[in-house]
A and B are shown apart, each in its own frame.
Chain A
Amino acid sequence: NAGVTQTPKFQVLKTGQSMTLQCAQDMNHEYMSWYRQDPGMGLRLIHYSVGAGITDQGEVPNGYNVSRSTTEDFPLRLLSAAPSQTSVYFCASSPTTGKNTEAFFGQGTRLTVV
């Protein structure tokens, strides 16, 4: 019963470094998304995908890339980390893009950029 699995749980990066946050789900969900959580701002959508091979930008996409080569995996790439990307990142999945769907969240990745 893994659900949505994110790795790593914690990461410290230096400014300018790149890294990939991993997200995998085993529920055969079509829809996957990445959010960042910052104090007093709730969760903001970074990128999302409605199925393998299809991705789109959310509210705050700058500085992040995604790809969706399989239904299960939806990695988030930081190309050149900046201190403004210090945040907690959550991956979520839901069954379809249709009505009456709820999102299931991973445990989160706490990223610090120094």
Chain B
Amino acid sequence: AQSVSQHNHHVILSEAASLELGCNYSYGGTVNLFWYVQYPGQHLQLLLKYFSGDPLVKGIKGFEAEFIKSKFSFNLRKPSVQWSDTAEYFCAVSAMEYGNKLVFGAGTILRVKS
């Protein structure tokens, strides 16, 4: 079965600091990879996705993620965070062999101090 591990549950940063959130998954086959964001009191929104091609994926709001197949990783990055990036971030994986069911990590709560 697939599993997703997010390295940090809580991250606190000051504005303008750089962000990297770790995500590792367990499945060795072909995967689809996603990062979702949940702002306080809101539903999940897609930040970015990787299906194939360039392993460096750019998403909305200045976020990017790099797929490293050899490390089973899909880390999320942002060079300079803003107070408005305060949210919970979820990494998710799906694979055709598992019926494309989305499997989520436990989430990372990011708090950006102004």
Q: Is the CB of B46 within 8 A of A102?
A: yes
Cβ-based interface call for A108 (8 A): yes
A103/B90 in contact, CB under 8 A:
no
Could you tell me how many residues of chain A have their Cβ less than 8 Å away from some Cβ of chain B? 26
Contact residues in B for A105 (Cβ distance below 8 Å): 36, 43-45
A94 vs B100: C-alpha distance when bound (angstroms): 10
- Would you give the shortest CB distance from A92 to chain B, in whole angstroms? 7
**Are B51 and A100 in contact, CB atoms less than 8 angstroms apart?**
yes
Q: How far is the CA of A48 from the CA of B100 in the complex (A)?
A: 11
Q: Is the CB of A43 within 8 A of B104?
A: yes
What A residues does B34 contact at CB under 8 A? Answer: 102-103
Chain B contacts of A94 at CB under 8 A? Answer: 100
Contact: A101 with B90, CB < 8 Å? Answer: no
Q: Are A42 and B104 in contact (CB under 8 A)?
A: yes
A99 pairs with B96, CB closer than 8 A: yes
Interface centre among B44, B90, B104 (most CB of A within 10 A): B44
How far is it, in angstroms, between the C-alpha of A89 and the C-alpha of B44 when the chains are bound? 12
Instruction: Report A95-113 CB contacts with B as 1/0, cut-off 8 Å.
Output: 0011111110111100000
Whole-angstrom distance between the alpha carbons of A40 and B102 in the complex? 17
Q: With A102-B46, A105-B44, A106-B43 as given contacts, are A42 and B102 in contact (CB-CB < 8 Å)?
A: no
Interface residues, chain A, with chain B CB atoms under 8 Å away: 31, 33, 35, 40-45, 48, 50, 58, 90, 92, 94, 97-103, 105-108
15 further interface pairs, Cβ-Cβ under 8 Å (given A101-B100, A107-B42): A35-B104, A42-B6, A42-B104, A42-B105, A42-B106, A42-B107, A43-B44, A43-B90, A45-B103, A48-B99, A94-B100, A97-B99, A97-B100, A105-B36, A105-B44
Pairs A–B under 8 Å by Cβ, sample size 21: A33-B101, A33-B102, A40-B107, A42-B106, A43-B90, A43-B92, A43-B102, A43-B104, A45-B102, A50-B99, A97-B100, A98-B100, A99-B96, A99-B100, A100-B51, A101-B100, A102-B49, A105-B44, A106-B43, A107-B42, A107-B43
